[in-house]
């Protein structure tokens, strides 16, 4: 642990000392258990393996300038995991159990929370899976909720550097009335082929359009989309995108800065009218976009090679709250002690 090179961490798995586990059996959740193993032993017919009964979350803990550890909006992650559970019939984890497990995982692995100066953070990954055996298609009768953590670097090693997105109309990540609005592994499996093709061609991510009409912007693979037009923050309204907690926070900060906020359908051609566009999510807060390439129509939308002013301002404000250097008027952060 003393040997972690905090400044050169990427976004990848590494082992911390402990993870938290909790089993749901006979209709109820048991006690939180602490494990130092990276392995889980499961029944060969567990529903998570066969029918994708799996939901996850992602959030971060930050070591502030004051040395305190803060976790960002974990109640929102708990509520979102409950919505995911309703969507694919998993046993629900209460907000109290979720936040207790997160606090415990952070506390037990405190030495893995990167120092303030590094700009890195502790990534927290809660996971909920169906463990009971079924071969008929029905929900499991047993579940396992786990929380693992790992230190991760600033998402972009090069800094807050704009990247390129690509539009391919031949792939969808989620159906209009499907599972796009919940955080389940199946959506990610469905995005791997398009994602790999995008990376191979030098793009950071695919910008998905709505699956039905291929007319409106949905989101960027694992992050929400936003555009800045004058003094307005615009983000898509769609039933097939995942409600990002980062996006929700940015909308509030934009409002507080006196901007107008619009959640509405965004026609893909409106890309030509934005001053700045970005992807937002826990991993990077904001990744500014310098170019969106519509591969089917061979049209490119360009936004400049430097991050836009508004994106920078929003990014700094949110990071400042997370690291305890800006006031936190909505109590978004919880101190772990
Ligand atoms: C997790 C996720 C996001 C980002 O959500 P945050 O709560 O901001 O981290 C965006 N899109 C998808 C598809 C996601 O799974």
Which CATH number belongs to the domain containing residue 69 in this structure?
Answer: 3.30.470.10
Q: Of the candidates 123, 152, 181, which is a domain's last residue? A: 152
Atom of ligand 1 nearest to the CA of 80: 7
299 located within any domain: yes
Burial class (CB in 10 A: 0-12, 13-18, 19+), 22: buried
Q: Is the domain of 224 the same as that of 317?
A: yes
What is the helix (H) or strand (E) element at residue 111, kind and residue range? Answer: none
Q: pLDDT of 155-213, one tens digit each?
A: 666 668 899 999 999 999 999 999 999 999 999 999 999 999 999 999 999 999 999 99
Q: List Cα–Cα distances, 193 to 170, 196, 252, 289, in angstroms.
A: 11, 5, 34, 22
Q: Is the domain of 172 the same as that of 134?
A: no
Note the maximum CA span of the chain.
Answer: 57
Q: Are 206 and 198 in contact (CB under 8 A)?
A: yes
Q: Of the candidates 105, 127, 152, which is a domain's last residue? A: 152
Q: How far apart are CA 221 and CA 187, in angstroms?
A: 9
Q: What are phi and psi of 47, to 5 degrees?
A: -65, -25
Q: Is the domain of 195 the same as that of 309?
A: yes
To the nearest 10°, report the CA torsion of 319, 324, 325, 326.
70
Q: Is the domain of 100 the same as that of 178?
A: no
Q: How far apart are CA 17 and CA 112, in angstroms?
A: 9
Beta bridge partners of 23: 144
- For strands 285-294 and 299-302, give the pairing: antiparallel
Q: What is the pLDDT of residue 10?
A: 87
Quick one: pLDDT band at residue 327, thresholds 50, 70, 90? very high
Q: Is the domain of 168 the same as that of 300?
A: yes
Q: Which of 244, 248, 287 to mutate to test the pocket of ligand 1 (most atoms within 8 A of CB)?
A: 244
27 is written with which tokens? 């209709």
244 located within any domain: yes
Q: How far apart are CA 154 and CA 8, in angstroms?
A: 9
Q: List Cα–Cα distances, 26 to 51, 137, 143, 195, 321, in angstroms.
A: 21, 20, 10, 40, 42
CB of 222 closer than 6 angstroms to any ligand 1 atom: yes
Q: Which of 80, 181, 282 to mutate to test the pocket of ligand 1 (most atoms within 8 A of CB)?
A: 282
Q: What are phi and psi of 297, to 5 degrees?
A: -105, 0
CB of 281 closer than 6 angstroms to any ligand 1 atom: yes
- Determine which residue's CA is closest to atom 10 belonging to ligand 1: 223
Q: pLDDT of 250-294, one tens digit each?
A: 999 999 999 999 999 999 999 999 999 999 999 999 999 999 999
Task: Note if the pTM is more than 0.95.
Answer: yes
Q: Is the domain of 291 the same as that of 200?
A: yes
Q: Is the domain of 15 the same as that of 129?
A: yes
1 located within any domain: no
Q: Please give the tally of structural domains in the chain.
A: 2
142 is written with which tokens? 């047993």
Q: How far apart are CA 74 and CA 77, in angstroms?
A: 5
- Determine which residue's CA is closest to atom 5 belonging to ligand 1: 244
77 is written with which tokens? 């992650």
Q: Is the domain of 167 the same as that of 316?
A: yes
Q: What is the pLDDT of residue 14?
A: 94
Q: Of the candidates 106, 126, 152, which is a domain's last residue? A: 152
137 or 6, which is more confident: 137
Please state, rounded to an integer, the average pLDDT across all residues of the chain.
Answer: 96
* CATH number of 302's domain: 3.20.10.10
Q: Which of 178, 242, 319 to mutate to test the pocket of ligand 1 (most atoms within 8 A of CB)?
A: 242
> Domain range for residue 190?
163-322
Q: Is the domain of 79 the same as that of 104?
A: yes
Distance 153 CA to ligand 1 centre (A): 18
């Amino acid at each position: 642990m003393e040997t972690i090179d905090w400044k050169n961490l990427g976004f990848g798995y590494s082992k911390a000392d402990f993870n938290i586990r909790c089993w749901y059996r006979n209709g109820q959740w048991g006690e939180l258990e602490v494990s130092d193993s990276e392995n889980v032993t499961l029944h060969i017919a567990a529903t998570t393996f066969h029918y994708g009964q799996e939901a996850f979350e992602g959030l971060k803990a930050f070591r502030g300038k004051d040395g305190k550890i803060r976790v960002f909006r974990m109640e929102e992650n708990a509520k979102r995991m409950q919505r995911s559970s309703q969507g694919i019939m998993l046993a629900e984890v209460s907000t109290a159990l979720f936040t207790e497990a997160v606090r415990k995982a952070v506390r037990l692995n405190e030495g893995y929370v990167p120092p303030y100066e590094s700009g890195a953070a502790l990534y927290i990954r809660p996971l909920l899976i169906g463990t009971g055996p079924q071969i008929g298609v029905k929900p499991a009768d047993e579940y396992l909720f786990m929380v693992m953590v790992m230190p991760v670097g600033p998402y972009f090693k090069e800094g807050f550097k704009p990247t390129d997105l690509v539009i391919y109309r031949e792939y969808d990540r989620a159906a209009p009335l499907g599972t796009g609005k919940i955080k389940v592994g199946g959506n990610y499996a469905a995005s791997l082929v398009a994602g790999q093709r995008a990376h191979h061609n030098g793009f950071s991510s695919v910008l998905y359009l709505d699956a039905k009409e291929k007319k409106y912007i949905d989101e960027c693979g694992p992050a929400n989309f936003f555009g800045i037009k004058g003094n307005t923050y615009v983000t898509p309204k769609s039933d097939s995108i995942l409600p990002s907690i980062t996006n929700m926070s940015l909308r509030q900060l934009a409002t507080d800065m006196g901007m107008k906020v619009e959640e509405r359908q965004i026609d893909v051609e409106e890309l030509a009218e934005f001053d700045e566009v970005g992807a937002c999510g826990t991993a990077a807060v904001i990744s500014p976009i310098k170019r969106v390439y519509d591969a089917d129509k061979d049209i490119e939308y360009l936004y400049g090679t430097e991050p836009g002013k508004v994106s920078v301002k929003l990014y700094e404000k949110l990071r400042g709250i997370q690291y305890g250097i800006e006031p936190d008027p909505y109590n978004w952060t919880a101190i772990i002690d």
